[in-house]
C-alpha cells in the first residue's frame, strides 16, 4: 500500500513540474501551434487589381495572410515605379503565359504613329499614345483644364461661323472632341478618359499636347 502511494505521488509531482502538460514544454517552444479552424481554400491562380485613373506611381504592395494557427499577419514590398492605370496589376502564383498576355496588352495600347481623330476646316486632330497633335494655322489664345469629367479646353483666335460638332472617339485617353464658335474665337473641348495633367508646346504645324 505504501509503495502504491509513493508511485502515485511521484506521477503527480512529475505533472506539476510542467506549467501545463497539454501544451509544448520549454524544449518544444519552436513548434508552431495549430488550429482546428478550417483553413482550406482554392489555390491562388491569378487575381487582378484595377487602379483609378488618378494613379501614376505604385509605392508599396502589401499582402495580408493567415498562418497555420489562424492568426493574421502581413508583409509589404516597397516599390517606386510608374504605373499605367489602364492596365490591371496581377497577383499570381501560376506564371503560365501571364508575361505574354501583359506584353500583348501593352503593344495593343501603344501606338507607333499618329492616328487621325477628327478634322474641320480650320483644325485637325491626331493622336499617338498620350499625345494630341493639333494641326492649325490659328493661334491658341487660351487653354485650361476642367474636371468631372476631365476636359482640355482650347480657344483658337479666329472669328468664324462654324457649325457645332461632337465627335466621339473609340480610343483611350481622348474620348470626345466638341467644336463650337464664340464671339471672336472658336473652341475645342477634348474629353479625357480619366484624370490627367497636360502640357502644350507650339510646333510649326500647330500645337502638341501631352497628357500625363
Across residues 162-189, what is the average pLDDT?
93
CA neighbor of 118 nearest in space, from 173, 180, 166: 166
Same domain for 102 and 135, yes or no, is: no
> Rounded to the nearest 5°, which phi and psi values hold at 106?
-65, -40
Which residue segment(s) compose the domain that 136 sits in? Answer: 115-211
Match 472658336 to its residue by C-alpha cell.
186
Task: Quote the CA–CA distance of 35 and 14 in Å, as a whole number.
Answer: 28
Across residues 55-59, what is the average pLDDT?
93
Across residues 136-145, what is the average pLDDT?
97
Domain end position, chosen among 109, 125, 148: 109
| Residues in Cβ contact with 78 at an 8 Å cutoff, skipping those fewer than 6 apart | 59, 60
Residue at 20 is within a domain: no
Across residues 18-29, what is the average pLDDT?
50
Across residues 118-128, what is the average pLDDT?
95
Residue at 30 is within a domain: no
Residue-level pLDDT at 141: 98
Residue-level pLDDT at 36: 57
Across residues 25-52, what is the average pLDDT?
68
Same domain for 92 and 135, yes or no, is: no
For the chain, the domain total comes to 2
Look up residue 135 and give its three cell numbers.
494641326
Residue at 5 is within a domain: no
Same domain for 94 and 162, yes or no, is: no
Residue-level pLDDT at 31: 47
Max mean pLDDT among 19-23, 108-112, 190-194 falls in 190-194
CA neighbor of 86 nearest in space, from 57, 109, 115, 117: 109
Residue-level pLDDT at 190: 98
CA neighbor of 190 nearest in space, from 136, 138, 126: 126
Residue-level pLDDT at 106: 47
Across residues 134-153, what is the average pLDDT?
97
Task: Quote the CA–CA distance of 91 and 111 in Å, as a whole number.
Answer: 27
3-state secondary structure of 140: strand
> Rounded to the nearest 5°, which phi and psi values hold at 16?
-70, -20
Residue-level pLDDT at 157: 96
Residue-level pLDDT at 200: 98
Q: Which has the minimum average pLDDT: 61-75, 138-152, 196-210?
A: 61-75
Residue-level pLDDT at 20: 52
Q: Which has the minimum average pLDDT: 3-7, 80-84, 102-106, 142-146?
A: 102-106
Amino acid at each position: 500500500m505504501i509503495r502504491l502511494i509513493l508511485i502515485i505521488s511521484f506521477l503527480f509531482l512529475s505533472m506539476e513540474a510542467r506549467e501545463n502538460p497539454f501544451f509544448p514544454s520549454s524544449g518544444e517552444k519552436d513548434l508552431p501551434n495549430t488550429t482546428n479552424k478550417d483553413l482550406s481554400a482554392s489555390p491562388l491562380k491569378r487575381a487582378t487589381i484595377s487602379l483609378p485613373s488618378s494613379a501614376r506611381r505604385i509605392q508599396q504592395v502589401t499582402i495580408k495572410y493567415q498562418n497555420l494557427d489562424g492568426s493574421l499577419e502581413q508583409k509589404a514590398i516597397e516599390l517606386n515605379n510608374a504605373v499605367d492605370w489602364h492596365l490591371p496589376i496581377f497577383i499570381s502564383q501560376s506564371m503560365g503565359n501571364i508575361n505574354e498576355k501583359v506584353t500583348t496588352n501593352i503593344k495593343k495600347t501603344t501606338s507607333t504613329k499618329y492616328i487621325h481623330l477628327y478634322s474641320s476646316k480650320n483644325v485637325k486632330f491626331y493622336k499617338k499614345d498620350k499625345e494630341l497633335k493639333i494641326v492649325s494655322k490659328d493661334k491658341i489664345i487660351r487653354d485650361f483644364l476642367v474636371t468631372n469629367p476631365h476636359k482640355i479646353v482650347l480657344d483658337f483666335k479666329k472669328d468664324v461661323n462654324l457649325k457645332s460638332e461632337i465627335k466621339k472617339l473609340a480610343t483611350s485617353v481622348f474620348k470626345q472632341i466638341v467644336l463650337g464658335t464664340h464671339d471672336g474665337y472658336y473652341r475645342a473641348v477634348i474629353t479625357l478618359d480619366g484624370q490627367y495633367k497636360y502640357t502644350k508646346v507650339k510646333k510649326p504645324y500647330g500645337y502638341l499636347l501631352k497628357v500625363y
